[in-house]
Structure 1
Amino acid sequence: MPSILWRIPVNKVVIAARACLTRQKAVALGFQVDKAAHKKAMEENAGVVDAAAKKMELLALHGEAVAELVEQSIDTTNDSFKYDPKPMEVSVVAIWCGRRKGFFEYIDKSFYVECEQSPDAENPKNHIGLVFDKTPFYAEQGGQIFDIGCVRNSSSSFTMDVEAVKVYGGYVVHYGTPKGLLKLNESLNVEIDMKRRALVMNNHTSTHLCNFSLRSTLGDHVEQQGSDVFAHRFRFDFSHGKPLTVDELEEMDERVRKIILQDLPVYDKEVPLDEAKQICGVRQMFGEAYPDPVRVVSVGVSVDDLLANPTSEEWKNYAIEFCGGTHTPSSNAPITFTTINEEAKSKGVRRIVCLTGQEALDALQASKDYKTRMEAALEGKTRSALSTTVADLLKELDSLKNFPYCDKSRFRQALADAKKTATAQMKEQEKEFKKIAADFAKETGAQLKESDQKFLVARLDIGSNCGVLKNTIKSMQKQKMIPICLLSFCDGKVSVSASSTKAALGTLPANKWVSTTVSSVNGKGGGKPDAAQGVCTNVNEENVQAMMDAANEFASQNI
């Protein structure tokens, strides 16, 4: 029997685009397929195919595949049902297994055996693409994410969860991992995930409200530069030469929320392109090629009213756009709205990321909860305690991702102001501490000069600045050169500074003196025999006294 292998040129790259379909047809016609020769041919072409694949999705329905469907007189997919999606029965007109395997006439046991025996690293889930005569699924386009859902036959012996939907040359391809047997022209029941579709519609309608509100706040120069609409958030790009101020963004957010609360009907209608362009205030993306007729989506005023008086200035007060996406029946469906990020996308273009529905409610509640925690944490705090609390609150604020951008900006400013207050308070306190230290050094130094005291352990509460303690010791040692150890207790923290003398280095080294003092409360210290310092945290008055006793005992035993 003759062997057979069809090859199709793709941009001068020869690939076995229909090898599996060819094998199925050959067997049906009584031919014998030379699998070894087929495998060798595929290996020979693998390098060039892989190189070309870098610019082509594995399962994308490339131009030659679309051309083949056209040559077979397969009509493009009727996707008009996507605007009113309901479970429906469809017919399988093509089974696409990717650029390497091409089209199949059926999925049988051999498909699954081959997938198991020769796993494809680029397609680990063994996805295929199904093309139907009609579909209620929305394919990814116009910045809107695709629908997901499921397909199955009447007996459920074949099922597939639809994980992605793309459109190529009018053919809508539904991607997923098949389970069971399938053949061309078989009838399947399809159903989209309406809960997820509702979330996407909430966000898509809200992009229109954003577009309208931004223009109202910033001016007529604002033009949409792109968008990505997902189930749980959306981003919107627009022309504007500088960052939005918090007040501007807050005004935009609040206007969108007001329109949502107004519960305005959302209208849509296909209109001849020339007529649609005459509508005053209609928004369209710069450089976009719109179909004729074009679908007009209007929030709050019917398309028929727009067409009855297209030049009316009143229409500038409504969100009206050319759009092929799916939308809510009312502006109230998104429930609420908030922006969680604003940034530069490119020169002259800004990008905002927004939430609607439950995600927005959660974000707004998170803001209220944080404000309560922040106010409680700051209450009564001053100086270093205030500074530490501000740092902790900022760290927490940075970790909150789905958070209203305006609120986060205002909280940052409030914390920055609190930080400035704490810094000013600490500077003023440091001046006071330095004066107290100078007075202590003068008075105590004079007393030491008149006494025969061999060392000094004293408490001088002047904050946690060991440098001030060290200078105080030096000042006193100028009056009488003896070993001195000072302790300062402030806000649950003890700072220790000690200085020995040349005569006492061998018997009373400062580093051992400090180490012994702080070890009584598990503190840390270090330095040299002539000078050392240490710190203890989370201590109380009883701990401070224990440290004083340890310092005195060590000096008494070693001097």
Structure 2
Amino acid sequence: MKSQDIRSQFLSFFEEKKHSIVPSAPMVLKDDPTLMFVNSGMAPFKEYFLGHAQPKNNRIADSQKCLRVSGKHNDLEEVGYDTYHHTLFEMLGNWSFGDYFKKEAIAWAWELLTEVFKIDKDILYVTVFEGNEEDKLPMDTEAFELWSAFVDRDRILKGNKKDNFWEMGDQGPCGPCSEIHVDIRSAEEKAKIPGKDLVNQDHPQVVEIWNLVFMQYNRKANGSLEPLPNKHIDTGMGFERLCMVLQGVQSNYDTDVFTPIIREVEVITEKKYGVNEAEDVAIRVICDHVRAVAFSIADGQLPSNTGAGYVIRRILRRAVRYGFTFLDKKEPFIFRLVDVLSKKMGDAFPELKTQKQLIENVIKEEEQSFLRTLDQGLVLLNRIVEETSGNTVLGEKAFELYDTYGFPIDLTALILAEKGLHLDEKGFNEELQKQKNRSRAASEMSTDDWTILQQDDVEEFIGYDTLEATVKITRYRKVTSKKEGDMYQLVFNLTPFYPEGGGQVGDKGYLEDPHGDVVYVLDTKKENNVIIHFTKNLPKDVKQTFKAAVDGKQRYRTECNHTATHLLHQALREVLGSHVEQKGSLVRSKHLRFDFSHFSKLTTEELRDVENFVNARIEGRLPLIEKRNVPKEVAIADGALSLFGEKYGDTVRTIRFGSSMELCGGTHVKNTVYIWHFKIVSESAVASGIRRIEAITNDAVKDFYFDHDRVYFKMKEMLNNAQEPVKALHSLQEENSNLKKQIEVLLKDKAKNMKGELEAALTEINGIQFLAKKIDLDASGIKDLAFEMGSKFENLFLLFATEQDGKALLSCYISKPLVSEKGLNAGQVVRELGKYIQGGGGGQPFFATAGGKNPEGIAEALEAAKKFLI
């Protein structure tokens, strides 16, 4: 059975059981601070389990893209070395929100596996929760008895809290679970060891394929459990593992989910899968990782140096590293796998097809960048080797190479072994642990349970229509972090505060009680469909009524910038072409940032055309036409633009200014005239195929022009109030250029005159012509002089020093025969002598320089140079 058919049959089965089939949510999370990525099928539905929203249907089924590479669920290091762990995987799931429970979930799971998919009942095992004294929970006898109707009792195994009690996190919904395991070993292997002895023992052919979670408790901050108001079902079945079972193979990588990608790797690398274990691991790593990176980029998360972007960059670099080390690929090639991936999975996930060109370009550029890093790292590693005495490279040095330059530690160890050297792994791990401790301490945070003041099913946002409201606090909690200290999170029955989202920052403002006491709202965010207001202090009496007021000035400036991003999007599509799509934005009160897909730098004319287009719409006084609660399909049919990677509900809000129409939940000016003016301040590249424009509007534009006026008049004053300042500046530049040329001639003459004196000052030490002297030349002049003298003498050792602008410079030249015959190295010389001038440097074995901040140490450095020849 093909993988497409397996996925389709699963969804059809639950559709017949009256489940709504929903598409996979974007893998990159934007309104859940506890997660970077969707790491399980239930993550997109957290708001339903928490009771913060109601689903349209209480029964749902889907195939959800998941990524497990950070936090509690992190399978990254296992990927490639075994045959059943992945970074990205599909999780087939059926969900009940307060509807059916254990009886139906167990019966339907068994029916699907054994009657629809025809899996042999004799290779299946199930587990149930054995109970836990710490939580005072008994064994899940209900699940045990329900399974007994389908499975022999000796195939129903008891599992501990680690394996059979599923928790969202340290706090939140949780409950016992039943796992279904499959034993696909040969009959001979089964005869040796019973399958039940290998369940949850990390055996590659005895694996869990489905987990049925019975969500019935809430874990509180103090660790205690309380029953949830409603009981839910949350199931997750590993699609790749199910394909392995149904296609009768022994590895996920032998299924048609991966074989087309593996064949493409074989063609590109000329390596055969299944011949060499090290190469097989590398091929599995690459085939897995390209899926994770491609889906992430399609969902809007580009590789970067921070947060979720850093995780994606790390995954891709791991793939490049395995190709570099084990498949001998020293040029980009992973981007070439995107084509076969999009053909294989593009029907189920159309974003792979629509974003294919972008995904290929981003991956290719990232590959090129990291391969350059590897080249630089090899040079630095060779330098470390040169400086190492003995056969052990310090872990501290290897960590610096890893931490500062991104050079993989396993590659460092491999290269050192080839050179007959040993890596101080203990020292490296100590440095790595110190870094982790620093990072953990900086992000350490504790969250109290919510204190509920009143139940309110609907927390209404009224900020589109007003900036002030009379509110009550329905719940609050204290959050403590090392970075921010104590903060409070407040939830109101209704709120005018816009929560951060869609690129727009959250509102600030204040709460005022009837006595005039004020608590400032420092930020507003949305978490699992709940609007949370951040304050430094808690009001004196949280049960009274408050006046909630948004900072109107900041909101107004932010609205100007947000509306400008819509006009900018339209302008870019008009000027550059319809291929332009928004790839991210940041809307603050002082400026805006807009990322978009385009494959070349914008010309001056294009930037001017974009600016003029936006300003024409501002001058056109276009009114805001807003529609709320529009069915998503209707809005898109009417021409509204939607963004890839955004999660939209069944109904949406549309924003129109003239012919610009987008799905948007942010706040906007009532008329474009309020923007006043739009000014682009920079245009740059973010990644291959992604450009970034930063711009300003309104008051920021006025300040921009005021500053430019001030600079202009200051410059004019410095040019003696010239009538044509540009012409006067050109004259100064020309005069400066001529003077520089004259100085170069003078310095060369000076060096020639000095050459004879220096040659006469040479002394012989152990057959080597030696000179260490302070001279009055710049760095370029010193280098020319040294090489001229070197062309005359074959056994020359020079150390020249100079002082410029209060800093010291040492330059060392050593004749190449001395480098090869005597083992002298100019780089090592300047690194050691650089200590005297409180600096350092390096270079080639025959010429190197060092700079320092202590010119007073020059004399000692010159004197110490002799020791290299004695």
Per the normalisation by structure 2, the TM-score is 0.34
Asked if 1:353 is matched to 2:711, the reply is: no
Q: Is the 8 A contact 1:90 1:190 kept in 2?
A: yes
Q: Please give the alpha-carbon distance, in whole angstroms, between the structure 1 residues aligned to 2:566 and 2:171.
A: 46
Change (3 A) 1:419 1:153: same
CA distance in 2 between partners of 1:223 and 1:269 (Å): 23
- Residue 173 of structure 1 corresponds to which residue in structure 2? 532
Q: Is the 8 A contact 1:199 1:232 kept in 2?
A: yes
| Residue pairs, 1:118-129, within 5 angstroms | 121-124=482-485, 126-129=486-489
Pair 1:161 & 2:520 matched: yes
Measure, in 2, the Cα distance between the counterparts of 1:177 and 1:424.
Answer: 58
Instruction: Work out the CA distance in 1 between the residues paired with 2:622 and 2:738.
Output: 53
For the pair 1:202 / 2:583, whether they are aligned, the reply is: no
1:179 CA displacement: 5.3
Residue 631 (structure 2) aligned to one of 272, 275, 289: 272
Distance 1:250 1:472, change over 3 A: same
Q: Provide the C-alpha distance between the structure 2 equivalents of 1:374 and 1:141, rounded to a whole number of angstroms.
A: 43
Change (3 A) 1:21 1:145: farther
Q: Distance in 1 between matches of 2:618 and 2:528?
A: 37
The structure-2 alpha-carbon separation of the partners of 1:74 and 1:51, relative to structure 1 and needing over 3 Å to count, comes to farther
Does residue 75 of the first structure (1) align with residue 75 of the second (2)?
no
C-alpha spacing 1:6/1:75, structure 2 compared with 1 (3 Å): farther
Q: Which residue of 2 aligns with 1:335?
A: 676
Aligned to 1:116: none
- Cα pair distance change 1:470/1:91, threshold 3 Å: closer
* Structure 1 letter corresponding to 2:660: A
Instruction: Name which structure has the greater RCO, CA cutoff 8 Å, separation 6+.
Output: 1
Match of 1:95 among 476, 481, 493: 476
Alignment partners' CA distance in 2, 1:415 and 1:97:
63
Distance 2:452 2:634 in 1: 35
Q: Write the mapping of 1:5-24 to structure 2, written as runs, cut at 5 A.
A: 11=168, 13=170, 17-19=220-222
Deviates more, 1:5-14 or 1:286-295: 5-14
Residues 6 and 466 from structure 1, CA distance in 2 versus in 1: closer, same or farther, beyond 3 angstroms?
A: farther
Change (3 A) 1:19 1:469: closer
SS at match of 2:675: coil
Shift of the 287–121 alpha-carbon distance from structure 1 to 2, 3 Å rule, reads: closer
Aligned-residue offset at 1:223: 0.4
| Residues 76, 171 of structure 1: 8 Å contact kept | no
Q: Work out the CA distance in 2 between the residues paired with 1:258 and 1:419.
A: 39
2:574 & 2:665 partners in 1: Cα distance?
Answer: 24
Going from structure 1 to structure 2, the CA distance change for 1:348 and 1:170 (only over 3 Å counts) comes to: same
Give 1:252's aligned residue.
610
Measure, in 2, the Cα distance between the counterparts of 1:291 and 1:471: 76
Q: Is the 8 A contact 1:76 1:170 kept in 2?
A: no
Match in the other structure for 2:746: 466
What letter corresponds to residue 134 of structure 1 in structure 2?
L
- CA separation of 1:264/1:60 partners in 2, compared to 1, >3 Å: closer, same or farther? farther
Please give the secondary structure, in 1, of the residue aligned with 2:561.
Answer: helix
Map 1:449-488 onto structure 2 (within 5 A): 466-467=746-747
- Could you tell me whether the CA contact under 8 Å between 1:139 and 1:172 is conserved in 2? yes
Q: Aligned with 1:190: secondary structure? A: strand
Which of these residues, 574, 578, 588, is aligned with residue 220 of structure 1? 578
Deviations 1:285-322 (A, max 9, x none): 1243322321111113xxxxxxxxxxxxxxxxx22111
Q: How does 1:321-400 map to 2 (within 5 A)?
A: 321-371=662-712
Aligned partner of residue 183 in structure 1, secondary structure: coil
- One-letter amino acid of the structure 1 residue matched with residue 532 of structure 2: V
**In the superposition, relative to structure 1, how do residues 468 and 53 fare at CA in structure 2: closer, same or farther (>3 Å)?**
closer
Deviations 1:169-207 (A, max 9, x none): 2221111122552234x3222111111110110000000
Structure 2 counterpart SS, 1:277? helix
Contact 2:467-2:497 at 8 Å conserved across structures: no
Q: Matched residues in 1 for 2:545 and 2:457: separation?
A: 16
1:444-475: CA deviations, max 9, x gaps? Answer: xxxxxxxxxxxxxxxxxxx895358769999x
- 1:341 Cα offset (Å): 1.3
Contact 1:59-1:129 within 8 A present in 2 as well: no
Would you say the 8 A contact 1:162–1:175 is kept in 2?
yes
| CA distance in 2: counterparts of 1:57 and 1:75, whole angstroms | 32
Mind listing any 5+ residue stretches in structure 1 that lack a counterpart?
Answer: 23-49, 101-119, 301-317, 382-388, 390-410, 431-462, 475-559
State the partner residue of 1:146: 506
1:235 and 2:593 correspond: yes
Residue 273 (structure 2) aligns with: none
**Counterpart residue type for residue 201 of structure 1:** E
Structure 1 pair 52–352 and aligned structure 2 pair: CA distance change class (3 A):
closer
State the 1:274 CA deviation.
Answer: 1.6
Q: Distance in 2 between matches of 1:207 and 1:275?
A: 23
1:364 and 1:6 map into 2 onto residues whose CA distance is 69
Partner of 1:183: 542
CA distance in 2, matches of 1:380, 1:215: 44
Q: How many residues align?
A: 333
Give the secondary-structure state (helix, strand or coil) at the position aligned to 1:285: coil
In structure 2, relative to structure 1, the CA distance for the partners of 1:130 and 1:380 (3 Å cut) is: closer
Residue 654 (structure 2) aligns with: 296
**Structure 2 residue identity aligned to 1:161:** Y
Q: How far, CA to CA, are the matches of 2:532 and 2:504 in structure 1?
A: 16
Which segment is superposed worse, 220-229 or 13-22?
13-22
Distance 1:95 1:470, change over 3 A: closer
Q: Which moved more, 1:360-369 or 1:253-262?
A: 360-369
Pairwise CA distance, 1:262? 1.6
8 Å CA contact retained: 2:590, 2:696: yes
Q: Is the 8 A contact 1:266 1:328 kept in 2?
A: yes
1:213 and 1:251 map into 2 onto residues whose CA distance is 8
Question: Equivalent residues in 2 for 1:529-544 (5 A)?
Answer: none
Change in Cα spacing, 1:471 to 1:57, as seen in structure 2 (3 Å) is closer
Larger Rg: 1
1:85 aligns to 2:445 (yes or no): no
Structure 2, unaligned runs of 5 or more: 1-134, 138-164, 173-218, 226-436, 755-870
Q: Write the distance in 2 (CA, Å) between the matches of 1:207 and 1:467.
A: 55
* Distance across 1 between alignment mates of 2:699 and 2:749: 56
Alpha-carbon contact 1:142-1:324 (below 8 Å) kept: yes
Structure 2 CA distance for partners of 1:286 and 1:467, relative to 1, 3 Å: closer
Cα distance in 2 between the residues matched to 1:345 and 1:247:
21
Helix, strand or coil at the partner of 1:95: strand
8 Å contact from structure 1 (residues 129, 176) kept in 2:
yes
Q: How far 1:9 sits from its partner (Å)?
A: 9.2
Distance 1:416 1:343 in 2: 28
2:490 equivalent to 1:130: yes
How far off its partner does 1:272 sit?
A: 1.9
Deviation at 1:371, TM superposition (A): 4.8
Contact 1:266 1:330 in 2 (8 A): yes
Q: Distance in 2 between matches of 1:472 and 1:172?
A: 76
Residues 1:6 and 1:415: Cα distance change in structure 2 (over 3 Å) = farther
